[in-house]
Amino acid sequence: MKPGLRFKSVVPEGPRVAVTFDGEALMLPEGANLATALMAAGIGSFRQTPFQGVARAPFCMMGVCFDCLLEIDGVAQQSCLIEVRAGMDIRPARQQREGPYESL
């Protein structure tokens, strides 16, 4: 995936911990803001919109907009309000596109 954002770091490199993102192993800085850490790790799309199915990525970073929504350890959460912990199981939120699904 093409890295979305590039960053200049102003803080010394701290310890990293292992998490999984969509099944893939990732090493993220422990205690860092999860949404930021994922963007810095090159994650460019956090969710698909329900109707048009287009990509979204963090917008407000303050817990307002829900564009950073991810499923973390089974529960959909705003990743901008969460700190990185070892072993987090992170996935795109369970959403689906519009359209009547197959009925009986």
Partner 1 sequence: MNRFDLAVVGAGPAGMAAAREAAEAGLCVALVDEQPRVGGQIYRNVERVEAPLAAVLGKEFMSGAGLAKDVQHAGITHLAGFSVLAFEKGKLALGAASGAMRIEAREVLLATGAIERPMPMPGWTLPGVMGAGAAQVMLKQSGLAVENAVLVGSGPLLHLVAVQLTRAGAPPRAIVETRRRGDARRAVMKWRLALRAMPYIKRSLANLTELRNAGVRRYMGSRDVALLGERRVESVVFASGGRRREVPCDVALLHHGVIPHVQASRAAGVSHIWSESQMAYVPECDIWGRTDAPHVWVAGDGAWIGGARVAELSGRIAALGIAHDLGYVRSVERDRRMAAWFEEREFELSLRPLIDRAFPPYEAALTPEDSVAVCRCEEVTAGQVRAAVAAGATNVGDAKVMTRVGMGRCQGRMCFPSVARIVAEARDVPVVDAGQLSARPPIKPVTLGALAQMHYGAGAKEGDAHDD
Partner 2 sequence: MDAEFAIVGGGIVGLSVALGLLDAGRSVVVLDGGAADPKASRGNFGLVWLQGKGVAQPRYARWSKESADLWPAFAAMLQDVSGIDVGLRQTGGLDLHFDEETLAQAVAENECLKAELGSDYPYEVLRPDTLRVEEPEIGPRVVGAILHHGDGDVDPLALLAALSAAVRARGGRVVTGAKVDAIHPKAEGFHLHGDGVDLRAEKLVLAAGLGSAVLGPKLGFVAPLKPERGQLLITEKLPPMIRRPSLIARQDRAGGIQIGATNEDVGMDRRVTLDGMARLAADAVAAYPVLEHAQLLRAWGALRVMAPDGLPIYQESPTHRGAFLVSCHSGVTLAAAHAMRLPAWILQRADAPELEVFGETRFAV
The DSSP secondary-structure symbol of 60 reads S
81 binds partner 1 (CB under 8 A): yes
Interface size with partner 1, residues (CB under 8 A): 46
CB of 5 to partner 1, least distance (A): 6
Among 18, 20, 22, 83, binds partner 1 (CB under 8 A): 83
Scanning residues 56 to 95, which ones bind partner 2 (CB under 8 A)?
Answer: 74-76, 93-95
Q: Residues 14-53 vs partner 2: string with x where CB under 8 A?
A: ------------------------------------xx--
Geometric angle at alpha carbon 91, from 2 and 87, rounded to 5°: 105
Rounded to whole angstroms, what are the CA distances from 49 to 4, 6, 44, 94, 97?
18, 24, 14, 11, 7
Q: Retrieve residue 98's tokens.
A: 């519009």
26 binds partner 1 (CB under 8 A): no
Geometric angle at alpha carbon 50, from 48 and 56, rounded to 5°: 30
